[in-house]
Chain A
């Protein structure tokens, strides 16, 4: 019954012409709307009418409101854009560039824990495997700009749901379709990859997976080739370093002092986001003095230096 073990692939191939369509999606929406009880439907209609009225009111208000830079400020947001150098002062919606990662802060301006590892189906992370290196999709940005693209690594040779993505050599993925081109992110070596997923350019970060982290001769600096591109760091619950030169020094401390502990992962209680000059960010999971990304690393020196850097 060896063929039975291939049922998934055979069925998907044999039924490849059978796909859920947009027509079905529309039908579902219509049927769901029709299936709602009448009072609720009326309430929804009432709410829709009220919302439309409110939108009209806001639209007219906006049209009559003076433009930003005159009298009225633009709406302020509680996050700030990355990769733009100076983070001082208030930030506005118009300041956040397309495809930039934003960091959320609490009321006191302290970075909140913000996990940007994308989650996958059934707890299996969305991955690209490239000859023994694993890259996990980031949840932010949802759509990166084409300007981040560097050289092409080739195309996904196999789409596989096998978590270990060990079906063969070359580029494999459980989220990027076969035949889709995979790129390095410009200037960052093999730290980040980018590929289209469902029509959006998504970013993938080098990670450990299936107890595989470093290949022969590699160190932390090989998996985080970020020097010269760092604009800031945000450690959740602690603070943010927004001076690029200070952040660069912290990064050097990290790659110089960190000690490799294992090829696994840490259960994060904090996150460290390292912001880059292209608007993207990479993430390390943090627990105590351990950092996890592509392997688990211990670096108390980094946390001491970070704590000192965020002191007022």
Chain B
């Protein structure tokens, strides 16, 4: 019952691109959407991430493929976020638009509030919240992905929770009272 023994070479074969796409593309897309708040942009970044997987042929450790994809996607999102277009168009958006399945509209307000609050977190906090609470990575894994000490990740998570709480209480600045 050993963990996966897939090699980096195998991960980059055509068949494995399909496998990785099936497994992770939707997660990558949704994380991008959290950052960008724009479906088309999120799709573009998701596609660019997988293009890079195929063309750059990174040396991926088995089991770390998703972490690599998310890291590349998040870096690209941050680059875009700094761009004028997003600052002008997305930061001005009043709400983070949800894209629910057609039959899912229950508890929308509460969930919308949480999604909106996460979306409004500063990037550094959004990173750790998305990786920890959305994608299920541990503090050590996040530290490795972001190249930061574990203590920094723990601290950011703690501060992110406080900011989220403040945002959910209606404090537009997200500063805890």
Give the interface of A toward B (CB within 8 A). Answer: 1, 3-5, 7-8, 10-20, 24-25, 27-29, 31-32, 35-36, 115, 117, 119, 121-123, 125, 161, 198, 265-268, 285, 292
Q: Is the CB of A14 within 8 A of B55?
A: no
* B124 CB to nearest A CB, Å: 17
Q: Is the CB of A36 within 8 A of B100?
A: no
Q: Is the CB of A14 within 8 A of B98?
A: yes
Give the interface of B toward A (CB within 8 A). Answer: 1-6, 17-18, 21-23, 25-26, 28-30, 33-34, 39, 42-43, 46-48, 50-51, 54-55, 63, 66, 98-102, 104, 110-112, 114-115, 118, 129, 133-136, 161, 164-165, 168
Cα distance A116–B141 in the bound complex, in angstroms? 28
Cα distance A24–B44 in the bound complex, in angstroms? 9
* B56 CB to nearest A CB, Å: 9
Q: For residue A265, which residues in chain B have a CB less than 8 angstroms away from its CB?
A: 1
Sample 26 A-B pairs with CB under 8 A, ordered by A number.
Answer: A3-B114, A4-B114, A4-B161, A7-B118, A7-B129, A7-B134, A8-B134, A10-B114, A10-B115, A13-B104, A14-B100, A15-B99, A15-B100, A16-B99, A19-B26, A24-B29, A24-B46, A28-B47, A31-B48, A32-B54, A36-B55, A119-B5, A119-B6, A122-B136, A198-B22, A267-B2
Q: For residue B135, which residues in chain A have a CB less than 8 angstroms away from its CB?
A: 8
Cα distance A12–B33 in the bound complex, in angstroms? 12
Q: Is the CB of B47 within 8 A of A18?
A: no
A4 touching B63 in the complex, CB below 8 Å, given contacts A11-B30, A35-B55: no
Instruction: Beyond the given A4-B129, A5-B133, A20-B21, please list 10 additional residue pairs across the A-B interface where CB-CB is below 8 A.
Output: A3-B168, A7-B114, A7-B129, A8-B134, A11-B34, A11-B115, A11-B118, A14-B99, A19-B29, A20-B25
* B2 CB to nearest A CB, Å: 7
Q: For residue A119, which residues in chain B have a CB less than 8 angstroms away from its CB?
A: 3-6
Q: Is the CB of B98 within 8 A of A7?
A: no
Q: Is the CB of A17 within 8 A of B47?
A: no
Q: Is the CB of A14 within 8 A of B47?
A: no
* A148 CB to nearest B CB, Å: 23
Q: Is the CB of A17 within 8 A of B30?
A: no
Q: For residue A1, which residues in chain B have a CB less than 8 angstroms away from its CB?
A: 161, 164-165
Q: Is the CB of A268 within 8 A of B114?
A: no
Q: Is the CB of A292 within 8 A of B1?
A: yes
Cα distance A125–B23 in the bound complex, in angstroms? 14
Q: For residue B30, which residues in chain A have a CB less than 8 angstroms away from its CB?
A: 11-12, 15, 18
Q: Is the CB of A123 within 8 A of B1?
A: no
Q: For residue A11, which residues in chain B have a CB less than 8 angstroms away from its CB?
A: 30, 34, 115, 118, 134
* B58 CB to nearest A CB, Å: 14
Q: Is the CB of B33 within 8 A of A15?
A: yes
Q: For residue B29, which residues in chain A have a CB less than 8 angstroms away from its CB?
A: 18-20, 24
Cα distance A268–B5 in the bound complex, in angstroms? 14
- Closest residue of chain B to A4 (Cβ to Cβ) is B133
* B142 CB to nearest A CB, Å: 13
Cα distance A8–B111 in the bound complex, in angstroms? 11
Q: Is the CB of B1 within 8 A of A14?
A: no
- Closest residue of chain A to B141 (Cβ to Cβ) is A122
Cα distance A265–B50 in the bound complex, in angstroms? 36
Q: For residue B18, which residues in chain A have a CB less than 8 angstroms away from its CB?
A: 25
Q: For residue A121, which residues in chain B have a CB less than 8 angstroms away from its CB?
A: 23, 66
* A229 CB to nearest B CB, Å: 24
A25 touching B21 in the complex, CB below 8 Å, given contacts A8-B133, A8-B136, A35-B51: yes
Q: Is the CB of A123 within 8 A of B51?
A: no
Q: For residue B25, which residues in chain A have a CB less than 8 angstroms away from its CB?
A: 20, 24-25
Q: For residue B5, which residues in chain A have a CB less than 8 angstroms away from its CB?
A: 119
Q: Is the CB of B4 within 8 A of A32?
A: no
Cα distance A16–B6 in the bound complex, in angstroms? 30
